[in-house]
Copies of this chain bind each other. A is one copy, B any other.
């Protein structure tokens, strides 16, 4: 029973390690289901056995404590197995953003010193041609997406399900120091090499506990509890799919993994598997609310937490009208990721819908244990008046301690004992944070700051606008001036002009929704707005295009 020899009276020093999250679900919900598309379905009992088998298989292949295992996969039960098995062995799970360029991926694998790769066969083309560039990778395990191995030039060692089938179900997962590194992920700024954030067992356990409380006990709309059915629509590679697979597992929730994001499959799974809680970026929600197919279904028990970019009021309203409960979640790759949720307070629940919408699109209130502040350039806290704008800084038990092997970048991240987010925002008297911009995206016009997010939010409420981006373009007189880049809805093509949009923004300024100097001069109509690999507006690209 005991892993070590204890003296009488010697207490057990309980470490906050990931294996402990499995304690309760295996008692509460051993028969609960974990579903992968329409392809597989098994129980928590099976999950536990497969976690053991994966660890045994990896150990046979030479993986031990401290080694990094990189996973390339869609949102799947395999990724969930990796979320547990790899850290529970004492190894490090690298979540690979397969949307990066092949060169960037090679950089991250080398930088993280990945020793083994588990890869969905759909991503093998990325590996082809990279093999010579990978410095530490010794073995490759392939997950054939269709069940059959495709032709590939990649030399691989094992097939995932065969590895599990032939390895031992029992693996004696050791206790370890709770500060052992468990996961890593590379975040891409708009300049320079990807930066590696990393999280320990302790950090992940605490993030799981606090987020579970925030979504289960604080939230007065859209609570997530043991009887909910979870499906991510934010990639699992993206900082642990916001930590929800850990929460869902700890609570013994039914889990549904959609694989590759295909609109029809997503909707089908929501309806047939009775999914009640998801998270996604605004673009995906937009796709859902805009689909005529989706409108046929009853989605009134679906709660969707929106993050990654600003949830516009227009989009929130469209979702609410379809019966979907939406609110904002906020965090960064550096923050594990959750920092805040835009849950209404008890007294706000009586508010009319329009006023409540203004709450749920905010950046939100801190989840338990989190502290945030807004500070001036000298790191002095600024008033919580909903007006004063400063850089957002954090403290929480789950913030990355540094960028891996990048002390210069870490020195910008951590200053005066607070993690500096690079976001600017304000905090209102109720304590709600509102991010108004990235520091580098703020438009500086004649000594005043104009929030590009405010401009985009206003623009999104115009009936003709599908999506928009605001950037600062150089101006001789003012230093910078705001400019809008807009996508028009198909039915409004040719029916709205730049002058119409400018008049709309001027009217908004006249109503006090925007300072007068904030009204953009220029409106560029485009068919597609530049995005980064994780779906965020790529303003660096836009600024280069329109400087």
A511, CB-defined interface residue at 8 Å: no
Q: A28-B431, A396-B14 are in contact. Are A209 and B368 (CB under 8 A)?
A: yes
Whether A152 is near chain B, meaning CB under 8 Å from some CB there, is: no
A216 sits at the interface (CB 8 A): yes
Q: Is the CB of B24 within 8 A of A395?
A: no
Interface residues of A in 1-25 (CB under 8 A from B): 1-4, 6, 8-12, 14, 16, 20-21, 23-24
Asked if A407 lies at the interface with its beta carbon under 8 angstroms from chain B, I say: yes
| In the complex, chain B residues whose CB is within 8 Å of the CB of A530 | none
Complex CA distance for A29 and B344, rounded to whole angstroms: 11
Which residues of A, 400-416, contact B by the 8 Å Cβ criterion?
400-402, 407, 410-416
Residues in B with CB closer than 8 Å to A216 are 213, 216-217, 225
Partner of A371 from the list B23, B415, B431 (CB cut-off 8 Å) is: B23
Closest to A418 in B: B12
Q: Which one of B9, B12, B250, B367 lies within 8 Å of A410 (CB-CB)?
A: B9
Which chain B residues border A218 with CB–CB below 8 Å?
24, 28, 225-226, 251-252
* Residues of B contacting A416 in the complex (Cβ-Cβ under 8 angstroms): 1-2, 6
Number of copies: 2
Cβ–Cβ contact A365 & B27, under 8 A: yes
Instruction: Bits for A104-146, please: 1 = Cβ < 8 Å to B, else 0.
Output: 0000000000000000000000000000000000000000000
Q: 1/0 per residue A345-373: CB within 8 Å of B?
A: 11000000000000000000111111101
A499 in the interface (beta carbon within 8 A): no
Docked complex Cα distance between A227 and B400 (Å): 33
CB of A375 within 8 A of chain B? yes
- Kindly list the 5 A-B residue pairs having the minimum CB-CB distance in the complex, ordered from nearest: A216-B217, A27-B431, A9-B411, A8-B411, A9-B410
- Interface residues of A, Cβ cutoff 8 Å to B: 1-4, 6, 8-12, 14, 16, 20-21, 23-24, 27-29, 206, 209-210, 212-213, 216-218, 220, 223-227, 250-252, 345-346, 365-371, 373, 375, 379-381, 395-397, 399-402, 407, 410-419, 431
Q: A23-B368, A24-B369 are in contact. List 17 more A-B contacts (CB 8 A).
A: A1-B375, A1-B380, A2-B418, A11-B402, A11-B419, A12-B417, A14-B396, A16-B206, A24-B367, A27-B365, A213-B216, A213-B250, A213-B251, A216-B217, A217-B225, A218-B252, A223-B225
